[in-house]
């Protein structure tokens, strides 16, 4: 039986990485829909401003300064949610870090630090949420939502360690889902795999390149991912790719892996360089930099919606619309004389 999840307006949601990008957009969107929020990130000034903004607009939120790469910090987030709100209904593991550079150039401590955030942060958060949901009483299940990437399914050059961490997130999430389901724990476990998203991801990355990094097109707005996250908070979804652009890349790799390798080798190293001198190469790998920005500085077109993702999340609605359109066309055709149909 599918897990039964609360309406968003009745939920307490924990969001890590809430001070920037997808996490920031998700927090604002969830607050506007009535959810109460426990926000977590390393950037205390940004969290304070965001919390004040939400409360000023009539919402309910509090925050904990936390580095998700530290298990004790993640435990403190869960404890704060219990103390402030009596518990939580959805846990979103969004915090992430990135490194641009060839794998042979990246220092081992940097790679380890990335994994502490991207992988171990997800592990700590997921297990803390699972422990809570295992003991929680009530008619409703909880939700664990992990942010993977299309790079969970298909690696690309230049950000190889990030790809490795997202592959690990996928493996962990899939295994956790099966184990909790087998135990009968009332929880929905979702993996969300965004394509390139217009966030400050490149500006926050550790950069080994001789140019400022950027994201390869097509890019989607963080709103598309935030809507997907909140959908999964209310409706059990196993996994979903955000953006058809990313899905095409994954399918190419499955159908013709060697051809896809060659295509990526020829295009993606250049596509991830902005053509400008690099800014602070350290980025936010070890310490927070700026916050409160949902979007990055990408200068090209950004897609504000994804029909592909909407179809994945609402297959029955899409089928109904398709059926309705088909019936309408059929009715119109039946009304016209055969000589005017135009089939030659």
pLDDT tens-place string over residues 191-204: 999 999 999 999 99
Chain centroid to CA 248: 18
pLDDT for res 137: 86
CB 313 within 8 A of CB 233: no
Q: For 281-284, which contacts have Cβ atoms below 8 Å and span 24 or more sequence positions?
A: 281/206, 281/207, 281/208, 282/206, 283/97, 283/98, 283/203, 283/204, 283/205, 283/206, 283/207, 284/97, 284/204, 284/205
- A 10 A CB-CB count for 340 gives 7
Question: CA-CA distance, 106 to 90, in Å (whole number)?
Answer: 35
CATH number listed for the domain at residues 8-313: 3.40.50.720
For the chain, domain boundaries? 8-313, 320-344
Smallest CA-to-CA distance from 133 within 146, 144, 142 is with 142
What is the per-residue pLDDT for 334? 59
pLDDT per residue of the chain (344 residues) written in tens, 0 to 9: 468 999 999 999 999 999 999 999 999 999 999 999 999 999 999 999 999 999 999 999 999 999 999 999 999 999 999 999 999 999 999 999 999 999 999 999 999 999 999 999 999 999 999 999 999 988 999 999 999 999 999 999 999 999 999 999 999 999 999 999 999 999 999 999 999 999 999 999 999 999 999 999 999 999 999 999 999 999 999 999 999 999 999 999 999 999 999 999 999 999 999 999 999 999 999 999 999 999 999 999 999 999 999 999 997 654 544 444 344 434 444 554 443 333 33
How many Cα atoms occupy the beta-carbon half-sphere of 90 within 13 Å? Answer: 32
Q: Under 8 Å CB-to-CB from 54, ≥6 apart: which residues?
A: 27, 28, 31, 37, 60, 61
pLDDT at 2 (0 to 100):
67
Q: Peptide bond preceding 155: is omega within 30 degrees of 0, i.e. cis?
A: no
CA dihedral for 33, 180, 243, 266, sign (positive or negative): positive
Plot region of 194 (φ>0 → left; ψ -120 to 50 → alpha; else → beta): beta
Give me the active site residues, please: 162
Q: pLDDT at position 344, please?
A: 35
Token pair in block for residue 333? 């055709």
How far apart CA 306 and CA 80 sit, in angstroms, is 36
Q: Which tens digit of pLDDT belongs to each residue from 216-254?
A: 999 999 999 999 999 999 999 999 999 999 999 999 999
- C-alpha 128/C-alpha 42 separation (Å) is 19
Instruction: Write down the pLDDT at residue 71.
Output: 98
């Amino acid at each position: 039986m599918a897990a039964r999840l609360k309406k968003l307006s009745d939920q307490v949601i924990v969001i890590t990485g809430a001070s920037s990008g997808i996490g920031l957009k998700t927090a604002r969107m969830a607050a506007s829909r009535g959810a109460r929020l426990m926000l977590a990130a390393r950037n205390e000034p940004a969290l304070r401003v965001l919390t004040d903004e939400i409360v000023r607009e009539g919402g309910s939120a509090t925050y904990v300064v936390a580095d998700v790469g530290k298990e004790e910090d993640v435990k403190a987030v869960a404890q704060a949610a219990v103390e402030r709100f009596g518990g939580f209904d959805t846990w979103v593991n969004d915090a992430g870090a990135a490194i641009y550079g060839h794998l042979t150039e990246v220092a081992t401590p940097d790679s380890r630090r990335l994994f502490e955030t991207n992988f171990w942060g997800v592990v700590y958060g997921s297990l803390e949420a699972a422990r809570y949901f295992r003991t929680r009483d009530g008619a409703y299940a909880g939700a664990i939502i992990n942010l993977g990437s299309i790079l969970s399914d298909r690696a690309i050059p230049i950000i190889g360690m990030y790809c490795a961490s997202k592959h690990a997130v996928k493996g962990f999430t899939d295994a956790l889902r099966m184990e909790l389901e087998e135990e009968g724990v009332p929880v929905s476990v979702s993996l969300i795999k965004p394509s390139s998203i217009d966030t400050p991801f490149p500006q926050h990355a550790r950069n080994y390149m001789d140019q400022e990094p950027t994201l390869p097109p097509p890019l989607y707005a963080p709103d598309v991912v935030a809507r997907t996250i909140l959908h999964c908070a209310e409706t059990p979804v196993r996994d979903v790719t955000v953006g058809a652009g990313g899905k095409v890349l994954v399918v190419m790799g499955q159908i013709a892996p060697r051809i896809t390798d060659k295509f990526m080798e020829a295009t993606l190293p250049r596509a991830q360089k902005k053509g400008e001198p690099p800014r602070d190469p350290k980025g936010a790998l070890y310490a927070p930099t700026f916050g409160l920005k949902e979007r990055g500085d990408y200068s090209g077109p950004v897609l504000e919606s994804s029909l592909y993702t909407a179809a994945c999340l609402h297959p029955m609605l899409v089928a109904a619309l398709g059926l309705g359109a088909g019936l309408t066309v059929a009715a119109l055709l039946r009304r016209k004389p055969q000589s005017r149909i135009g089939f030659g």
